[in-house]
């Protein structure tokens, strides 16, 4: 039996439509009005009936159409905003596509904006969307303080990939960054490497900070002293990464392996090694389209971007009191670059 067949229960096996409130009413043996009251969290429904309806909703996999619910209340079409760092980066373009797909399940529209590493532009985008009636936002926050968002009490915001600075109560969907950084470093240590360099961008961003923490935890657990001379921070551009990799390889006691905290750093390492005779091992955080094409293929820490996006959209459309945290799991995918032995 497939997952879909388990979820849909008594619906016809040939049906490809989504379950409706009428299906829930038939399954629970109650009226359509009762289902509507439960779905819309209205009072005056007996606890036994409410439980029966909720069981049927879970069994059938019913999900309320948020756009239709808004229109029924006289509201306009649901529009979500997505504010991110730079859509030209593959991570952000994949995230945008996944948010759009997840939003489409609720017949919601998505508008995008890139702040290109400028906190001032980030704030301008958020406030511009808000003043234009976009009251529900998914934001990949910069490292800047976001306390000013408290001024917009009616704005619903879910943060993705990073924990915002300056906000105590914030819904966040993040990756298991510490585990990913630790897994990458442990993999290189298991291959015999002890001189492992770290290439990262803004350490003030929570995701980068946590990946670096995972790196340090793995070294400490293995009894390997962390060498600050092998740590490069604040590099965003692959060309700058390429320069720093070359500089490290020219040291008297160079690294034999690298851990890159994002896909741009991985690409920078690839650029550097085109011109070098050395063949260090390396692992990158973030998968990217051509990672399996190179020889050797790029060993990466990867995750399900669709899971990241769906979780964010679900939190956004179902607000709750108190901050919520969703942690998306990561996995290491060995393709060759992380398995190169030390010289």
Domain residue limits, the chain: 21-72, 79-174, 177-303+327-333
Q: HSE-up of 141 (CA within 13 Å, CB side)?
A: 26
Domain covering 79-174, topology: Rossmann fold (3.40.50)
Instruction: Report the candidate in 204, 202, 198 with the shortest Cα–Cα distance to residue 227.
Output: 198
By the 8 A CB rule, do 56 and 7 touch? Answer: no
Of the given ranges (14-23, 26-35, 54-63, 241-250), which has the lowest mean pLDDT? 14-23
Superfamily of the domain at 21-72 = lambda repressor-like DNA-binding domains (1.10.260.40)
For tokens 């009936």, what's the residue?
49
Peptide bond into 296 cis (omega under 30): yes
3-state DSSP helix/strand/coil % of the chain, to nearest 5:
45, 15, 40
Rounded to two decimals, what is the model's pTM?
Answer: 0.78
Region 177-303+327-333: CATH code: 3.40.50.2300
In tens, the pLDDT along 290-311 reads: 999 999 999 999 999 999 999 9
What's the CA gap between 250 and 230, in Å, rounded?
12
Angle 103-105-107 (CA atoms, 0-180°, nearest 5)?
A: 70
In tens, the pLDDT along 158-211 reads: 999 999 999 988 999 999 999 999 999 999 999 999 999 999 988 889 999 999
In tens, the pLDDT along 114-157 reads: 999 899 999 999 999 998 889 899 999 999 999 999 888 889 99
């Amino acid at each position: 039996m497939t997952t879909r067949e388990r979820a849909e229960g008594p619906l016809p096996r040939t049906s490809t439509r989504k379950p409706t409130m009428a299906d829930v009413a038939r399954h629970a043996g109650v009226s359509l009005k009762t289902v509507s009251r439960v779905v819309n969290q209205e009072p005056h429904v007996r606890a036994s009936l409410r439980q029966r309806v909720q069981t049927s909703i879970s069994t059938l996999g019913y999900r309320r159409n948020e756009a239709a619910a808004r229109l029924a209340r006289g509201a306009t079409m649901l529009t979500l905003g997505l504010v991110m760092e730079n859509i030209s980066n593959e991570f952000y373009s994949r995230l945008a596509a996944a948010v759009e797909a997840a939003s489409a399940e609720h017949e919601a529209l998505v508008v995008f904006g890139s702040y290109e590493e400028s906190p001032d532009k980030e704030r301008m985008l958020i406030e511009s969307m808000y003043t234009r009636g976009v009251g529900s936002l998914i934001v990949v926050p910069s490292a800047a303080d976001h306390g000013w968002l408290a001024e917009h009490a009616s704005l619903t915001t879910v943060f993705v990939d990073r924990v915002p600075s300056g906000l105590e109560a914030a819904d966040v969907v993040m990756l298991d960054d510490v585990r990913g950084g630790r897994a990458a470093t442990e993999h290189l240590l298991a291959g015999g490497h002890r001189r492992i360099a770290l290439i990262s961008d803004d350490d003030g961003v929570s995701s980068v900070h946590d990946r670096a923490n995972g790196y340090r935890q793995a070294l400490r657990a293995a009894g390997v002293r962390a060498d600050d001379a092998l740590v490069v921070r604040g590099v965003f551009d692959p060309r700058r990464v390429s320069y720093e990799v070359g500089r490290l390889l020219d040291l008297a006691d160079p690294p034999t392996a690298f851990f890159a905290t994002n896909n741009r750093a991985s690409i920078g390492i690839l650029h550097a090694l085109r011109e070098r005779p050395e063949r260090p091992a390396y692992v990158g955080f973030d998968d990217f389209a051509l990672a399996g094409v190179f020889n050797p293929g790029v060993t990466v820490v990867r995750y399900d971007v669709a899971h990241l996006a769906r979780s964010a959209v679900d939190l956004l459309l179902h607000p709750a009191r108190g901050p919520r945290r969703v942690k998306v799991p990561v996995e290491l995918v060995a393709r060759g670059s992380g398995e190169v032995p030390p010289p």
